[in-house]
Amino acid sequence: MSDRFAFAGRTCLITGAAGGIGAALALELARRRAVLVLVDRNADGLAEVARLAGELGARDVTTYEIDLSDGGDRLDLAAEVAARHGGVDLLVNNAGVTLMGSFEQNSLTDFEWLLEINLLAVVRLTKAFLPQLLARPGSHVVNVSSLFGLIAPAGQVAYATSKFAVRGFSDALRHELEPQGVGVTVVHPGGIRTGIAANARLSAGDPGGAQAEQARRFAERALTMPAEEAAKQIVAAVHDRRSRLVIGGVAKGGDLLARLAPARYWWISQRVAAVRRLQTGDDPGRRSS
């Protein structure tokens, strides 16, 4: 699609809007005088983001406290948005959760909980709002995948499953919708400073709290890019109608490695990580002399 997306006065719905990338996106779009529809299960967080968005210039802000893990359809939400705003111009499926532990440790209940939020909610919301998007030429969909929609590390089977699926869903959807005037951008962030790792659900097989400590250390070490920077890049990608956006050096490096060595990237990354641990003295197997 060649026409650029103009945000002023356009109705933009964002899930996971109470924190992280979702909140940063809401505020970035508020600066562009968009109309905001914010969805999250965190009512207090939503209220604060809505307040800040109003101060920054949003034309209108509506909030909906919804738990996307409940498995319900979203036709009621779509009907409410249509009644109040006439429909959406930009749908941002951003909400996401993660699950710590190996596939062996993860229960099927937890695995299905993650898929409900990370994948099925994306499908349900897109399906519910599709008639509105098709009726508004130049509308757009953003689906937030992940670095782990490009590479699939051990210990993240559920999360990678959901994010690779979001990637495939987005690509196929784009091929269907672009001829009808609706754009689709899939986003692969990596290393963004949000609460997703620290707030990860832990598997039942973590009696000593090792997974929680691992998630905390990972968040401190690897998640360094401010969510505000990621939001600016996403808004720019929508404005330019880009089909794919990889955010952050970690994600770009992972993407390149997976392209160069699709069958061996995990082995290579583990060897590189082992060398770095030796160089920094952070190797748990290394003994002091």
Q: Where are the alpha helices (DSSP H) in 225-264?
A: 227-239, 249-260
Q: What is the pLDDT of residue 199?
A: 55
Domain spans in the chain, listed from the N-terminal domain onward: 11-247
159 is catalytic: yes
Catalytic residue among 159, 164, 169, 265: 159
Those residues with Cβ within 8 angstroms of residue 213's Cβ, 6 or more apart along the chain or in another chain: none
Angle, CA of 96, 231 and 244, to the nearest 5°: 75
Torsion of CA 216, 43, 23, 5, to 10 degrees: 140
Is the per-residue pLDDT at 285 higher than 60?
Answer: no
pLDDT tens column, 125-171 = 999 999 999 999 899 999 999 999 999 988 899 999 999 999 999 99
Q: What is the pLDDT of residue 269?
A: 85
Those residues with Cβ within 8 angstroms of residue 214's Cβ, 6 or more apart along the chain or in another chain: 100
Burial class (CB in 10 A: 0-12, 13-18, 19+), 3: exposed
Q: What is the pLDDT of residue 209?
A: 58
Q: What is the CA radius of gyration of the chain?
A: 20
Q: What is the pLDDT of residue 288?
A: 36
First-to-final CA distance of the chain: 63
Do 246 and 254 contact (CB within 8 A), yes or no? Answer: no
Those residues with Cβ within 8 angstroms of residue 41's Cβ, 6 or more apart along the chain or in another chain: 18, 65, 66, 67, 68
* Pick among 3.40.50.720, 3.10.105.10, 3.20.20.60, 1.20.1280.290: CATH of 11-247: 3.40.50.720
Question: What does the pLDDT average to over 90-117?
Answer: 94
